[in-house]
């Protein structure tokens, strides 16, 4: 299981998303690799990903993918992350 946390510059926001997604997965008792990546590294990182987490602003930069694209509004809201990851992975 691989999850991508996607961001424009590959530092900062995607790393926060990764930290909080890991906390949400721990709540759900699900094990997964979460990789933070920027737009430059996205195509390679997303090849074998099941889920892509991104901000509403960044969805348009995601090209064709077989992964579930999950839009996260509040990167710090563990309830939102848990709810949306549970649906995507359920």
Please give the residue ranges that form the binding site for other proteins (CB under 8 A). Answer: 7-13, 15-17, 19-20, 23, 38-39, 54-58, 61, 73-78
Whichever of 43 and 90 has its CB closer to other proteins, that residue is 43
Least separation in angstroms between residue 67's CB and other proteins is 18
Beta bridge partners of residue 51, listed in sequence order: 3, 68
Q: Smaller CB distance to other proteins: residue 58 or 66?
A: 58
Smallest separation (angstroms) from other proteins to the CB of 78: 6
The residue among 66 and 70 lying less far from other proteins, judged by its C-beta, is 70
Residue 25 tokens read as 């997965």
Q: What are phi and psi of 68, to 5 degrees?
A: -75, 125
Minimum Å gap between C-beta 39 and other proteins is: 7
Listed in sequence order, the DSSP H helices in 1-90 are 13-28, 39-46, 78-89
**Cα(84)–Cα(77) distance, integer angstroms:** 11
Q: What DSSP character marks residue 34?
A: E
């Amino acid at each position: 299981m691989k999850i991508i946390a996607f961001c424009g510059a590959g530092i900062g926001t995607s790393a926060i998303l990764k930290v909080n997604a890991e906390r949400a997965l721990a709540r759900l008792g699900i094990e997964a690799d979460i990789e933070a990546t920027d737009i430059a590294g996205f195509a390679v990182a997303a090849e074998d990903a099941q889920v892509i987490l991104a901000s509403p602003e960044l969805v348009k930069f995601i090209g064709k993918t077989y992964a579930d694209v999950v839009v996260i509004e509040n990167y710090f809201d563990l309830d939102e992350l848990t709810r949306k990851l549970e649906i995507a992975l359920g």
